[in-house]
Chain A
């Protein structure tokens, strides 16, 4: 018996019991759609974390100032300005694992350009900062050596600042005033988007650290010494983060003349690690979601088996007749198997449409990021087919093993 004929018989049998076929398919439809949606949501979450890692820059370690303790009350991080610009230069120089280390002095204030103004954060730093953050200057140029050493009145601005102060016009060579200090814009930074806390990373003004210290921060405490709020360190690709962490700790303790047994007067935070942990947890989450969705596929498969068993019992006489007119056991097996697989594949196809639609709707309505992958669709379709074969096989074999005389006599 050829395949087209078998397929026609299967389709006819499914058409005869339309409602039942539809209900049976429903299990597969829901299962496949759930798998696709869950994988899309999981992938979306993962992609978001990966984007954050990319926007932060990879292999980042932060060094923060220590805390003060006065009268038993312990202040927060950075209350004691213990780390200095020179610590950053020393890290750059002396630790092989470090690709770049950038000291940053942070402040905030009103930036005024003509009649527009915008409150933003500014960072006094070194050109290494851009290397650490993997941040490109898309318009204009970076800082020059003379500007670094001579407290040049130049700045780089982020996209948000540029947009708020200048709209669509080019901000290059424009002068803005930060805390009343006129500064010339020499470059515009590439767009970074939000960071993991949801803060806008493009709302930023960068200036040479000497400029920040001598001209902008003015009278504040940090301006007087060489101290900085934090040092951002990028470890070389492939280098051991833990080893770099340990060597940095050792070097800084040495530079700060800390005795054995004395606490660190700084903090070292491995930011990449935090994000990587987040990525790992989102991976586990999406796996979990897919696993739960697979359970519904499994239940759908059992539904198919159930209906096929009922169908075999109901059609016992038909099976007997087919055998009497010359059908072999394997013809009957094929017929019922094709029926089950057709059921699951049609259900799978509808489920794919529903899943793709559902993932898109979730992205639209809930604003979640979802990522449909061809792989997950192929996987779901393959899984649906496999379920048809797996759960259709037992009823089909049962049908094929009926004895013709008993099947014919069945009431």
Chain B
């Protein structure tokens, strides 16, 4: 393993609120290797969301460097970041963020639309991912016709459809009941075993316990970074 998938060095982010400068992230240095399943923890205001946004190329760091799969991304323009997101990243959100009145299939295919994938290919790949997460028979359903767990599965299929090198999950179980949460974690673990790198933000220890590595944030800094003997979610069901 020559280089880690993620390498951040002295990564910092300040938010300017009027005349005040609020430091949200104060110099974070860490590596994440391909194939890891990392849980990022911390109370609100600890900087974990800011860290996730930077990892997700959704925001520019104020200082420091971030290289993703060997590509230095901290100085890229907005359009270049969009291209990185389109090719290398997948997102799972707390509130699913599925497009209403759009079928599960079209929701899953959405990232491919911006990756200039031809229509037939979009359809094929979206169908494959939906089948993989076990919702093949719900392809033509709209989000409103699906349960919370099913919606999050569709969202996970969407995150995977562009074959990303990194999936970022921001409180993916935050809007789900505990049993469904474990189901979702089991799915993520399964995907991780297939080789997908996952970084997950959560404030629940139970959820973090399913990850192989736990990084804790407080006041914009990493206060703990430890390996975790991951609990098997499938067994916990």
| Interface set of A (CB-CB < 8 Å, partner B) | 1-2, 5, 12, 16, 317-318, 320-331, 403-405, 408
| Contacts A5-B119, A12-B102; A324 near B56 (Cβ below 8 A) | yes
CB distance from A326 to the nearest CB of B (A): 3
Task: Collect the chain B residues with CB atoms within 8 Å of residue A318's CB.
Answer: 99
Task: Collect the chain B residues with CB atoms within 8 Å of residue A326's CB.
Answer: 82-83, 85-87, 111, 114-115, 162
**Size class of the B contact interface (CB-based, 8 Å):** 20 to 34
| Contacts A5-B119, A322-B114, A324-B85; A329 near B79 (Cβ below 8 A) | yes
Q: How far is the CA of A404 from the CA of B59 in the complex (A)?
A: 8
Of A5, A12, A324, the most chain B CB neighbours within 10 A belong to: A324
Q: Which of B86, B111, B113 interacts with A5 by CB under 8 Å?
A: B113
CB distance from A313 to the nearest CB of B (A): 16
CB distance from B201 to the nearest CB of A (A): 13
Produce 1/0 per residue, B73-96, CB < 8 A to A. Answer: 000001100110111000101000
CB <8 Å contact, B82 and A2: no
Question: Which secondary structure dominates where chain A touches chain B?
Answer: helix
Q: Would you call B32 an interface residue if the criterion is a C-beta within 8 Å of the partner chain's C-beta atoms? A: no
| Contacts A16-B101, A317-B97; A327 near B114 (Cβ below 8 A) | yes
Given contacts A324-B56, A325-B114, 4 further A-B contacts (CB under 8 A): A2-B116, A5-B119, A321-B93, A408-B97
Task: Collect the chain A residues with CB atoms within 8 Å of residue B110's CB.
Answer: 321-322, 325
CB distance from A83 to the nearest CB of B (A): 85
Q: Across chains A and B, which 9 residue pairs bring their CB atoms closest together, nearest first? A: A326-B86, A326-B114, A325-B111, A328-B82, A321-B97, A404-B58, A328-B79, A405-B58, A327-B114
Q: How far is the CA of A292 from the CA of B110 in the complex (A)?
A: 45
Q: Which of A12, A322, A328, A408 interacts with B93 by CB under 8 Å?
A: A408
Q: How far is the CA of A12 from the CA of B107 in the complex (A)?
A: 13
Task: Collect the chain A residues with CB atoms within 8 Å of residue B102's CB.
Answer: 12
Q: Would you call B158 an interface residue if the criterion is a C-beta within 8 Å of the partner chain's C-beta atoms? A: yes
Q: How far is the CA of A328 from the CA of B110 in the complex (A)?
A: 13
Q: How far is the CA of A25 from the CA of B115 in the complex (A)?
A: 33
